[in-house]
A and B are shown apart, each in its own frame.
Chain A
Amino acid sequence: MARLSTWIRFATWPLLALAALEICARVDDSVTYGASPWRNYNHNSLWVHDQLGQRGRPHGQYLKWKLNGGGFRSPEPDPALWHVGVTGASETFGVFESEGQEWPRHLERELNAPGGGVRIAVDNLAWPGLLVSTTRRHLPAMLAYTKPRVMVIYSSPTAYLFRDVAPEEQKTVHLPAADGVQLRIQARVETVIKRVMPERMQNWLRIRQVAKAEAAQKEVFDRVPERIITLYADDLRGIIDDLRAAGVEPVLVTHATLFGKHVEDDVREWLTLWRRGFPMLRENGFLDMENRANDAMRRVAAERGVALADVAARMPVGRQYFADFVHFTDRGAAEMARIVAERVACLRGGTAACLAQPAPGKGK
C-alpha cells in the first residue's frame, strides 16, 4: 500500500510540473503582452470574419503584432499627414522582423528622411494571405480609414494557386481551433523542439509532409498554368482601375524571393519549405511562377502607365535579407523599403513626371 502511494505521489510530479509551466506561460503572456490568462491566446486575437471574409480585428493584439482601430498593423492614421497605403500579404504585414522593422515602417522612415518636405505616414494595410482580388473587396474600407494619396501593391502570386482551385476561397493563415482549452506551453515546446532539431532532420520531415500532401492533391503542376497568371494580371488591372477611380495613385512592386534568379544548393531546402504550403506545385515551378507573374506585372504597369518598383530585379538575395523563402529579415525589410521609397518619392512630382524618369537601377 505504501509502495502504491509512493508511486501515485511520483505520478503527480509530471502533472504538477505541467501545471506550473502552463501557469508560467499564462502569467508571462499576461505580463508581456497584456493577454488574458483565462482565455485562449492565439492568432484568432488578430482576425474577425464578416461578409467580406477575414480582416484585421480592430485593436487586435497577439504577441508582437498590434493592430490599430481599423484592424491594420499601423499607428492610428493622422489626417494632417500625407498618407501612403501599402497592401500585400504576410511579407508586408511582417512576420520575422523585429517590432517596428517591417518594411512599411522602414518605408515611412525613408520617405521622411531629412529634406523630404511634407511629412508622410505609411499605413500597412496588408495581412497574411491577402490576394489582390481580396484587397479589392476590402479597398473601400481601407481607403475610408486611411485616405491615402498613393497605394503601394506588393502582392504574392503564390496564393493564386489556391484561388485557381476555389476562386472564392481565400488562403489565410492557419488558425488553431477557437474552442476548448489550449495549453500555451504546447506551442512553446513545439517551437523549442523545432529549433533544437538539426536542420537536416527538419528538412527530411518536410519532404515527408510534402509527399503526403502531394498524394492528397487532385492535380500537381510542374509549371503554373497560364490561366493563373492571367487571373493575376486581370486582378492587377482591376485594382489599378479601382484605385484611380477613388483618386489614389497605385505603385506596383514586383515580388522578390530568397532565391533571386536561380536556386543555389545552399538554399534549396527553403524551396521544400515553401512547397509545404502549396503542395500542388512542384519545386521547380515556383521560380518560374514568380518570373512569369513579375513579367505580367511589368506588362500591366507599362500598359496602364503605373509606377513600378522592380524589387524582384534589384533586391539582393541571401539569408541576411530573407528569413525564409519570401519573408524579410530586418535588413531585408530595410533594403526593400529603400527600393520602394525611390519610386514613391518621385510620385510627389506627379505621376507623369515620375513615369518619365528612368526606373532606378534599370540596365544594371
Chain B
Amino acid sequence: MGGKNLPIEGKGTGSAILGLRLPPGLTPLDGMLFNSLEFLIFLPIVLCVYFLLPHRGQNRFLLAASCFFYAMWDWRFLFPLLTSTCIDYFCAIRMDASWARNEPNAARKWYLQLSLVTNLGLLGFFKYYNFFQDNFRLLAESAGWHVSPWTLQIILPVGISFYTFQALSYTIDVYRGHLHVTNRFSDFLLCVLYFPHLVAGPIQRANNLLSQVMNPRQVTRQHWVDGMHLICWGFFKKVYVADNLSPLVDRTFGQTAVAGFPAWMAVYAFAVQIYCDFSGYTDIARGVAKLMGFEFVLNFNLPYWATNPQEFWTRWHISLSTWLRDYLYISLGGNRGTAGRTYRNLMLTMIIGGFWHGAAWNFILWGFYHGALLVSHRLASPFLDRLFSWPGAWGEGLSRAVRVAVMFHLTCYGWLLFRATSLEQVIGMTRSLADPLGGYDPDLAWRLAPFVLPLLAVQWVQYLSGRLDFLSFRWLPAEARVVCYSVFAYFVIFRGGVPQSFIYFQF
C-alpha cells in the first residue's frame, strides 16, 4: 500500500535548481514539465508560430506541437494514445450515423462498448495490471498456493488516466445524443492531445473543447491579461508554496514514528502542498490555453473553504468530480432509487474515483473515506443544519467558520490516508494526531508560515470578494500591476523550492 510504490508516469527528473528543472547539459530532453527550462523555451516558440497561422493552420500546428510535447516524455507513449483515439473517433462516427438513422440504442451500444473496452482496457493494462497481479499472488500465497504470475515491467504512459476520461466523455456524450461528432479527425485528435491539458488535466469534455477547436478563436488583450495572471499565480503556488513544503512533508512521512505536533504540521503541509501543486498546474494549463484563445473549465474553487463534503467535491478537482457524477454516479442510478441505493452509488463512485488516482490500496481507502464522509453528511445533514443554525450575522459567520474548520480537518485526515506509505503509518500517525501537543516545536510552525500565510491571505480575499481573478489586479493601474507581478516573479524565481514533479502526474 502507498503512493510511494506507485509507478510514476513518464520518466526522468534531471538536475533541478531554483524553480527550474534543467536539462543536464545539452542532453536530450526528458519530459516537459511546465516548470522546466524546456517548456519555457517551447511555449514562446509555439505562441509565435501560432499567431502567424490561419485557423486551420493553427490547429494543425498545435497538433504537431502537442505530439512533440508528449513525445518528449517518451515517443512510444503516443501509440496507446493514438490507438484509443482512432477507435473512439470511429465509434463516435458510427454512433452519430446511427442517431441520424433513428436506430434503436442497441445499435449504438456495441460501439460504446468497444470504446469503453478499448479505453478502460488500455488503462487497466498499463495502470492496474501489476496491482491486480501482486494482490492475486498475495491472496494465493495466503491460501497456501504457490503461483508465479507473469511479471511485466510496465511503464505507465504519462497522463493516461486523464486522456482516457477525456476520450470517454466524447463517446458517451455521442452515445447519449448530447453531442454531434466532428468529421475532421484532426480536430478530435487535437481535442484529446492539446498539450496544456494532456498530462494532468483539467479533464476537458469534448462538448466544451471541440467547438473551440472547430471554430476560429479570438484572442483579445483580456485573454492575455487573464492568462498571464493564471500562469503567474500557478507558478507561485507550485514553485514557491508546494516545492518548498515538499521536503518537510517527505521528511515527516519518511519517519517511522512521529510525535503529534510534527504529524499535524506534516498533514497540514501536505494538504497545502497537494492543493498548490495540482491547482498550480491547472492554473498554468488554463493560463497557457487562454493565451491561445481557449477556455478551460475551472478545476479548483477554494476547496478548503468548503463547509461540508458535498461542497468540497464541487470545489476540488471539479473536472474529475463532475465527470464521475455525470458518467458514473448517474449511470449507476444516482439518487433516483432508494436512500440505500443512493448511498451505495456514492460509495462506489468515490471508491472508483480513489482507485483512478492510483493502483494502490491507500487510494481505495481514501476514496472509501470520502464516500463515507458524503454518506454520513447526507444522513446527518438535518441534524447538522439545526446544530449550526446560529442566529444573527455574527452567528452565521461563526457557524460557517466552524464548519469550514471541521471540514478542513476531515479533508486533512483524508490526505493522511492518501500520502501514507503503509497501513502501519496510517495507524501510527492517527495515534499521534490524538496528542496534538506531543513533540511541540514552534519552529516547525514558523517554517510553514512563510508558505502558507500568503496563500491564506490571498484566498481569504478571494473568498470574501467572491472573485477568483482578484490576483489579476485589474482594479490597479498598470504601474502597480508591474510591481505586483515583479513580487510574484521574485518568489517564483529566487525563493522557489527544489523543483519536484507535479504530484498528479502519477495519476
Contacts and interface: CB of A to CB of B under 8 A. Distances in A.
A198 B26 contact: yes
Interface in A144-201: 188, 191-192, 195-196, 198-201
A21 B486 contact: yes
Contacts of A31: 450
Given A17-B486, A21-B486, A198-B25, A28 B17 contact: no
A9 B481 CA distance: 13
A192 B492 CA distance: 12
B18 A192 contact: yes
Given A13-B479, A196-B37, A21 B490 contact: yes
B401 interface: no
B428 interface: no
Nearest to A269: B25
B420 interface: no
Contacts of B26: 198, 200-201
B436 interface: no
Nearest to A197: B22
B479 A16 contact: yes
A13 B486 CA distance: 10
Nearest to B26: A198
Interface string A1-28: 0000000010011001101110011001
Interface string B485-498: 11101110111000
A13 B489 CA distance: 14
A63 to B, nearest CB: 13
Contact of B483 (A16, A191, A200): A16
Interface residues of A, number: 21
Contacts of B20: 192, 195-196
Interface in B461-493: 478-479, 482-483, 485-487, 489-491, 493
Nearest to A10: B478
A19 B483 CA distance: 8
Contacts of A201: 26
A191 B495 CA distance: 12
Contacts of A9: 478-479
B495 A28 contact: yes
A24 B482 contact: no
B18 to A, nearest CB: 6
Contacts of B487: 20, 24
B482 A17 contact: yes
Contacts of A16: 479, 482-483, 486
B23 interface: yes
B24 interface: yes
B490 A20 contact: yes
A20 B482 contact: yes
B479 A200 contact: no
Contacts of B479: 9, 12-13, 16
Contacts of B482: 13, 16-17, 20
A9 B487 CA distance: 20
A199 B24 contact: yes
Contacts of B485: 17
Nearest to A194: B17
A177 to B, nearest CB: 23
B25 A191 contact: no
Interface string A231-268: 00000000000000000000000000000000000000
B449 to A, nearest CB: 11
Contacts of B37: 196
Nearest to A31: B450
Contacts of B23: 198
Contacts of A191: 18
Contacts of B450: 31
B17 A25 contact: no
Nearest to A15: B482
B22 A192 contact: no
Given A12-B479, A13-B482, A25 B490 contact: yes
A249 to B, nearest CB: 38
Contacts of A192: 18, 20, 493-494
Given A16-B479, A17-B482, A17-B483, A200 B25 contact: yes
Given A20-B490, A191-B18, A192-B493, A199 B483 contact: no
Contact of B490 (A12, A13, A24, A199): A24
B494 A188 contact: yes
A17 B489 CA distance: 10
B39 to A, nearest CB: 13
Nearest to B17: A195
Interface in B142-192: none
Contacts of A195: 17-18, 20, 22
A195 B25 CA distance: 11
Contacts of A24: 486-487, 490-491, 494
Interface string B427-461: 00000000000000000000000100000000000
Interface string B8-26: 0000000001101011111
A201 B489 CA distance: 26
A16 B485 CA distance: 11
A73 to B, nearest CB: 21
Contacts of B493: 188, 192
Nearest to A13: B482
A339 B18 CA distance: 33
Contacts of B24: 199
Nearest to B491: A24
Contacts of B489: 17, 21
A31 B454 CA distance: 15
Q: Which of A12, A21, A191 has the most CB of B within 10 A?
A: A21
Interface in B266-292: none
A214 B441 CA distance: 54
B98 to A, nearest CB: 55
A63 B323 CA distance: 49
A34 B483 CA distance: 24
Contacts of B18: 191-192, 195-196
Contacts of B490: 20-21, 24-25, 28
Interface in B20-51: 20, 22-26, 37
Interface in A54-100: none
Contacts of A20: 482-483, 486-487, 490
Interface in B57-102: none
Nearest to B493: A192
24 contacts: A12-B479, A13-B478, A16-B482, A16-B483, A17-B482, A20-B482, A20-B483, A21-B486, A24-B487, A25-B490, A28-B494, A31-B450, A188-B494, A192-B20, A192-B494, A195-B17, A195-B20, A196-B18, A196-B20, A198-B22, A198-B25, A199-B24, A200-B26, A201-B26
Interface of B: 17-18, 20, 22-26, 37, 450, 478-479, 482-483, 485-487, 489-491, 493-495
Interface of A: 9, 12-13, 16-17, 19-21, 24-25, 28, 31, 188, 191-192, 195-196, 198-201
Given A16-B483, A25-B490, A195-B22, 16 more contacts: A9-B479, A20-B482, A20-B483, A20-B487, A21-B486, A24-B486, A24-B494, A25-B494, A188-B493, A191-B18, A195-B18, A195-B20, A196-B18, A196-B20, A198-B22, A200-B26
Identify the 7 closest CB pairs spanning chains A and B, nearest first. Answer: A20-B486, A24-B490, A17-B486, A199-B25, A195-B17, A20-B483, A200-B25
